[in-house]
């Protein structure tokens, strides 16, 4: 008797062990397929259903990983912005790849609604002029790669920080070496229009080598988009502006002063919008302010050190972030090479020190807390690695995961916000 092969599917029904459909093949008598013909038809339909289920499950699994983008200095072997994935189950980083080739994209920011990423080019010259660059890049949702849309000159030397306003209408840039800030309108396609607003900071402070002139180090909007805060390391000031059609209008009050020699670097808002935290690079401190969104005024309420009392060596601070829950605050130490943790009092905004955790490398210039609040990713400029720490949900303390990602000169690490993931 001749046999022929018929493909079918296997589905086992628990209550009836005699009912089976299998994925695979069955040898049936040639010319007498009988019920196998009907079974094959059913099998094909079930096969399609299973494939759809597998595809859906695969998409869900993919959604459990978060896209991560890494800005670098490109004087060494780095080529620009890199991408990776953060596994939210294990905390491990994987799938490192070059996302865009750019010169020294040292800080990046996401548009709140468009698939567009913005990056500074921390340069002394761009397009033949003494200034840096600002780039707009479109993100491919499938590959994660970034395609250059356009670039604009930053208006100053060595732009080191940028942010997008909550409305998604403007990109604001801090030019470190020349001590200026600039604003660029965002066009409908995500491209950057020419500069609309510019302010040159003036003055100095007490540190002879670091504060001989202005050094704008970061700029960001408050959560409501009412006021713009710019930290100037060289002036020991947080300058406050209102934005009008891309123009910076000095606020009243126009600034908040820090103790002489502080060197304010980066700013973090509490999710409630009522508190602002500034990390001071030169004194290794964090200053807490009460923030009045209606007037834009900052009232100092506390200053704390980021270092243990026993540490007496050289140190400068870098990044600061508030945990998504608003319960904890983190700041990075370069020299002590650690992440300092604090608990935030929700009623007063005051900080309680929780101690320091070794960051897992040298010179943690930047870090980020992922959108789930489960992990902190620390980028180490001097040891070319990114280390992930698990955040304890109750205590806020950090536990390094025994896994790291090798990247040359990582100076910015950002997780894609939840509403822009794929």
Query: What average pLDDT score do residues 197-224 get?
Result: 98
Residue 13 has phi, psi (to 5 degrees) of -95, 120
Q: How far apart are CA 124 and CA 120, in angstroms?
A: 12
Query: Could you count the other beta carbons within 10 Å of the beta carbon of residue 64?
Result: 12
Q: Is residue 115 part of a domain?
A: no
DSSP tag of 130: S
Q: How far apart are CA 338 and CA 332, in angstroms?
A: 6
Instruction: Supply the pLDDT for residue 44.
Output: 44
Instruction: Supply the pLDDT for residue 63.
Output: 54
Q: How many residues does the chain have?
A: 422
Query: Could you count the other beta carbons within 10 Å of the beta carbon of residue 244?
Result: 10
Distant-in-sequence, close-in-space partners of 263: CB < 8 Å, separation ≥ 6: 207, 210, 211, 233, 234, 236, 280, 281, 282, 283, 316
- Does the pLDDT at position 182 exceed 50? yes
Query: What average pLDDT score do residues 93-113 get?
Result: 98
Better-predicted residue by pLDDT, 378 or 19: 378
Domain extent, residue 96, equals: 70-101+306-422
Instruction: Supply the pLDDT for residue 52.
Output: 47
Q: How far apart are CA 31 and CA 4, in angstroms?
A: 9
- Does the pLDDT at position 13 exceed 50? no
Q: Is residue 20 part of a domain?
A: no
Q: What is the dihedral of CA 40, 42, 43, 49, to 10 degrees?
A: 150
Q: How far apart are CA 386 and CA 85, in angstroms?
A: 12
Q: Is residue 420 part of a domain?
A: yes
Q: Is residue 25 part of a domain?
A: no
- Report pLDDT digits (tens) over 287-322: 999 999 999 999 999 999 999 999 999 999 999 999
Mean pLDDT is lowest, of 1-15, 45-59, 253-267, for 1-15
Q: How far apart are CA 358 and CA 398, in angstroms?
A: 9
| pLDDT > 90 fraction of the chain, expressed in percent and rounded | 83
Q: Is residue 346 part of a domain?
A: yes
DSSP tag of 147: E
Confidence class for position 45, pLDDT limits 50, 70, 90: low
- Does the pLDDT at position 15 exceed 50? no
| pLDDT > 70 fraction of the chain, expressed in percent and rounded | 84
Query: What average pLDDT score do residues 131-137 get?
Result: 98
- Report pLDDT digits (tens) over 50-87: 444 444 444 444 458 999 999 999 999 999 999 999 99
| Distances in whole angstroms, Cα of residue 286 to Cα of each of 65, 129, 161 | 32, 36, 19
| Distances in whole angstroms, Cα of residue 266 to Cα of each of 115, 125, 150, 173, 262 | 25, 24, 27, 13, 12
Confidence class for position 124, pLDDT limits 50, 70, 90: very high
Q: How far apart are CA 391 and CA 283, in angstroms?
A: 26
Cβ contacts of 376-381, under 8 Å, gap ≥ 24: 376/330, 376/339, 377/68, 377/86, 377/93, 377/413, 377/415, 378/332, 378/339, 378/413, 379/70, 379/407, 379/410, 379/411, 379/412, 379/413, 380/337, 380/410, 381/73, 381/409, 381/410, 381/411
Token pair 């103790």 is found at 259
Query: What average pLDDT score do residues 171-195 get?
Result: 98
Confidence class for position 115, pLDDT limits 50, 70, 90: very high
Mean pLDDT score across all residues of the chain? 89
Instruction: Supply the pLDDT for residue 403.
Output: 81
Assign residue 370 the CATH number of its domain.
2.130.10.10
3-state secondary structure at position 35: helix
Domain count of the fold of the chain: 1
Q: Is residue 361 part of a domain?
A: yes
Whether residue 352 contacts residue 341, with contact meaning beta carbons closer than 8 Å, is answered with: no
Instruction: Supply the pLDDT for residue 289.
Output: 98
**Could you tell me what percentage of the chain is helix, strand and coil, using 3-state DSSP and rounding each to the nearest 5?**
10, 50, 40
Instruction: Supply the pLDDT for residue 422.
Output: 54
Q: Which residues pair with 255 in a beta bridge?
A: 239
Q: Is residue 76 part of a domain?
A: yes
Q: Which two tokens stand for residue 108?
A: 């990046």
- Does the pLDDT at position 415 exceed 80? yes
Mean pLDDT is lowest, of 30-34, 171-175, 294-298, 322-326, for 30-34
């Amino acid at each position: 008797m001749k046999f022929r092969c018929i493909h079918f599917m296997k589905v086992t029904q628990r209550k009836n062990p005699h009912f089976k459909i299998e994925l695979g093949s069955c040898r049936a008598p040639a010319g007498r397929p009988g019920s196998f013909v009907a079974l094959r038809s059913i099998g094909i339909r079930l096969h399609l259903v299973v494939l759809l289920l597998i595809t859906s499950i695969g998409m869900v699994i993919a959604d459990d990983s978060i896209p991560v983008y890494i800005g670098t200095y490109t004087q060494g072997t780095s080529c620009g912005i890199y991408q990776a994935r953060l596994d939210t189950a294990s905390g491990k980083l994987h799938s490192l790849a070059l996302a865009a080739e750019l010169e020294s994209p040292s800080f990046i920011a996401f548009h709140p609604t468009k698939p567009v990423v913005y990056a500074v080019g921390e340069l002394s010259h761009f397009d033949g002029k003494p200034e840096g660059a600002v780039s707009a890049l479109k993100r491919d949702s499938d590959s994660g790669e970034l395609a250059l849309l356009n670039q604009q000159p930053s208006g100053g030397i060595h732009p080191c920080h940028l942010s997008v306003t909550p409305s998604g209408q403007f990109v604001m840039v801090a030019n470190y070496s020349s001590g200026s800030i600039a604003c660029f309108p965002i066009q409908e396609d995500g491209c950057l229009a020419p500069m609309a607003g510019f302010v040159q900071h003036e003055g100095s402070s007490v540190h002879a080598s670091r504060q001989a002139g202005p050094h704008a180090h970061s700029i960001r909007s408050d959560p409501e988009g009412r006021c713009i805060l710019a930290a100037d390391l060289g002036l020991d000031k947080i300058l406050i502006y209102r934005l009008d059609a891309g123009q910076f209008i000095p606020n009243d009050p126009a600034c908040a002063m820090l103790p002489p020699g502080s060197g304010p670097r980066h700013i973090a808002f509490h999710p409630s919008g009522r508190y602002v935290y500034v990390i001071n690079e030169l004194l290794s401190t964090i200053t807490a302010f009460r923030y009045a969104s209606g007037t834009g005024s900052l009232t100092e309420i506390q200053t704390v050190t980021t270092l243990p009392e026993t540490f007496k060596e050289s140190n400068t601070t870098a990044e600061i972030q508030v945990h998504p829950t608003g319960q904890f605050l983190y700041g990075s130490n370069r020299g002590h090479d650690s992440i300092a943790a604090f608990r935030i009092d929700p009623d007063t905004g005051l900080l309680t020190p929780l101690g320091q955790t070794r960051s897992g490398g040298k010179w943690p210039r930047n870090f980020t807390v992922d959108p789930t609040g489960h992990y902190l990713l620390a980028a180490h400029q001097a040891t070319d690695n990114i280390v992930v720490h698990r955040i304890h949900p109750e205590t806020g303390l950090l536990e390094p995961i025994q896994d790291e990602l090798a990247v040359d000169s990582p100076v910015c690490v950002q997780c894609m916000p939840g509403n822009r993931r794929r």
